[in-house]
Amino acid sequence: MLEVSEQALEKLSELLSAQDSREAAIRIAVMGGGAGSPCLGIIVDDVRETDVIYQLDEIPVIVDSNLIAWCKSITIDFTTGISGRCGGASGSGFIITPEQPINL
């Protein structure tokens, strides 16, 4: 299951519309994390055979079927200007929370 806040959906739409490819989708993927533990991140990518596709309004969001099975559900939110809550100096960005933490 995938839950996306309205503010995050708006930002995902902006991210996807900046791409040249009409075939591109927003991918939720395992990324390197702070303090040695992996976390989830967002990239623009093409759909693969093993992906689960969530169509949110006009935005395709893809997650590898093994990842979504492991996480059970993923929640995506977007925060603006709360320093220390997200990476980067502005404190703005996506917050991606899996129900089941990623432990590799």
State the CATH number of the domain containing residue 22.
2.60.300.12
Please indicate, yes or no, if residue 26 is contained in any of the structural domains: yes
Q: How many domains does the chain have?
A: 1
Q: How confident is the model at residue 22, as a pLDDT? A: 76
Please indicate, yes or no, if residue 12 is contained in any of the structural domains: yes
d(CA 54, CA 2): 8
Residue 35 domain boundaries: 2-98
Q: How confident is the model at residue 101, as a pLDDT? A: 80
pLDDT tens digits, 40-96? 999 999 999 999 999 998 899 999 999 999 999 999 999 887 555 555 556 688 889
Please indicate, yes or no, if residue 104 is contained in any of the structural domains: no
Tell me the pTM.
0.81
Please indicate, yes or no, if residue 70 is contained in any of the structural domains: yes
d(CA 34, CA 21): 31
